[in-house]
Structure 1
Amino acid sequence: MQDESGFFVKRESYDNFRFIFENNCSCDAGPMMSALKEVVNDNDIAFDIGANIGITSMWMSKISKQVYAFEPEAKNLSRLKHNIHINGIENVRIIEKAVTFESATVCLNLYESYGHHSLSTSHLSTPKGRVSVDAVSLSDFCRAEDINKIDLIKIDVEGFEYEVLLGAEELLATNSIKFIVFEHSPALLRKQGRDMSQVIDLLFKYGYTIYRLNHEQINRVDVARLGQEDLYAVARSH
């Protein structure tokens, strides 16, 4: 299938075709990509954390010189590689690892939906098993790759966004990450027993300004009214 960005995406029988046809977009990141197409562009380096089958990675490839796509699950990796290949994309480097607060071997919990695999043992989706995968922190990865600045990061890791950002505190403290897009899922966070403001408080700590996709700025008191949605944060120096 050709998606709304013009890329071809290999589809499987277990994909959510109802969502695709009812919403006229290739995945649940479609509204985010549409809303931010005029906000984020001309990036040197972009990270797609939780790259899944590569739809956001391919979108990033059009607006970035170099994309690093992090995905640890084998079937998703196979589809990610295939989608990058059939579209002739050459500026996406696939990193076969999860991202969390430390570099280690971790347990990835597999769920019924291929978009719900998570380091968390608790999810709204039905569990299907678990596998051991390699993980890396963003600070360790950037140090090893000599990356000093990231223009754009998308984080969709099914409730583990906070741990991803904990592993990037060195970068956050110096505002070396310009633009961060992340999923906010109240139902999932409640299921996991998490504080709804955990991620937002960490970003506020380092001086980031946070917006909804309609570009409405939010404060901590606004968290209670947020639904299932993507938010984006902008470094204070930009």
Structure 2
Amino acid sequence: MSNRYVLQLRRVARAAGVPRMLGRFAKDYESPFSKQLMLACRRGDVVWDVGANVGHYTTSFSDWVGVSGKVFAFEPDAANLPRLRSACADRHNITILGCGLSERTERSCFLGDGGDGTTSHVLRAGEIISEGAIEVQLRTGDDVVGSGQADVPDLIKIDVEGHELSVLKGLQATLANRRLRKVFVEVHFGVLDRSGRADDPKRIESILKGSGFKLNWTDASHILASRPA
């Protein structure tokens, strides 16, 4: 999917409105991705939900790993946190961390979408700081593990609206840990194109392959990275 000819075809399709037309017929374009997530989870697993939003996947992970498992939900958007906490209130295997993951531990600007938070994102270099932007805490995943605030995961899901590469850069030690079996990444091609980072998908693939994972695109936007047994 990171091949330059495929990327060019995707840009032409977006310009022609193909994704919008397909969306009218697809009830849930993430269903193959969701199914693979469910199949990958094992009882007792530690799962990181990076970009937890309001908890759709977080609560599913809680069910899939069972009471012996743990789910760590990362969500920096203060507008989403009350709904996330409410959704997870009675689930004792979930820990919510009110921060985002990135390549550095720092404070950064974050822009909510004013709706359900599904397109909220960390402001990118050169992006205008518009009204409604807030400051959030970003941390590297390796720092979170090192501080003892989260266990080394068996599985990671990343959905961060174009910030995927930065998240992975901050996870170098964690990606190298043999305990980590699977990494699921939603790659936001449109966001990356608009922000001049069209080469990010190839760099994402390179980091995952370099950490010993075999890659499979479950659909046009989702990577499943699996560590060979």
The TM tier, using the shorter chain, reads 0.7 to 0.9
Match of 1:233 among 221, 225, 229: 225
Q: Which residue of 2 aligns with 1:97?
A: 99
Letter in 2 for 1:32: F
Q: Which residue of 2 aligns with 1:219?
A: none
Indicate conservation of the 8 Å contact 2:51/2:74, yes or no. Answer: yes
Q: Which residue of 2 aligns with 1:54?
A: 55
Q: Distance in 2 between matches of 1:234 and 1:72?
A: 27
Report the alpha carbon displacement of residue 102 of structure 1 after superposing the two structures with TM: 1.7
Q: Which residue of 1 aligns with 2:208?
A: 203
Match of 1:134 among 128, 131, 137: 137
3-state SS of paired residue (1:75): coil
Report the alpha carbon displacement of residue 76 of structure 1 after superposing the two structures with TM: 0.8
Q: CA RMSD in A?
A: 2.5
Q: Distance in 2 between matches of 1:80 and 1:21?
A: 28
Match of 2:161 among 145, 158, 163: 158
> Alpha carbons of 1:23 and 1:61: their partners in 2 closer, same or farther (altered >3 Å)?
farther
- Higher relative CO (Cα under 8 Å, sequence separation at least 6) belongs to 2
Indicate conservation of the 8 Å contact 2:111/2:134, yes or no. Answer: yes
Q: Which residue of 2 aligns with 1:45?
A: 46
Indicate conservation of the 8 Å contact 1:154/1:182, yes or no. Answer: yes
Letter in 1 for 2:111: N
Report the alpha carbon displacement of residue 23 of structure 1 after superposing the two structures with TM: 5.2
Indicate conservation of the 8 Å contact 1:67/1:93, yes or no. Answer: yes
Indicate conservation of the 8 Å contact 1:110/1:128, yes or no. Answer: no
Report the alpha carbon displacement of residue 78 of structure 1 after superposing the two structures with TM: 0.9
Do structure 1's residue 75 and structure 2's residue 76 form an aligned pair?
no
> Alpha carbons of 1:147 and 1:69: their partners in 2 closer, same or farther (altered >3 Å)?
closer
Name whichever structure is richer in strand by fraction. Answer: 1
> Alpha carbons of 1:169 and 1:59: their partners in 2 closer, same or farther (altered >3 Å)?
same
Report the alpha carbon displacement of residue 71 of structure 1 after superposing the two structures with TM: 0.5
Q: Distance in 2 between matches of 1:191 and 1:40?
A: 34
Indicate conservation of the 8 Å contact 2:112/2:133, yes or no. Answer: yes
Stretches of 4+ moved more than 3 A in 1?
Answer: 20-25, 28-31, 146-149
Q: Structure 1 length as normaliser, TM-score? A: 0.74
Report the alpha carbon displacement of residue 84 of structure 1 after superposing the two structures with TM: 1.4
3-state SS of paired residue (2:162): coil
Aligned length: 198
Q: Which residue of 1 aligns with 2:14?
A: none
Q: Distance in 1 between matches of 2:38 and 2:77?
A: 28
Letter in 1 for 2:144: F
Indicate conservation of the 8 Å contact 1:208/1:233, yes or no. Answer: yes
| Unmatched segments (≥5 aa) in structure 1 | 1-19, 215-226
Report the alpha carbon displacement of residue 178 of structure 1 after superposing the two structures with TM: 1.6
Indicate conservation of the 8 Å contact 2:72/2:150, yes or no. Answer: no
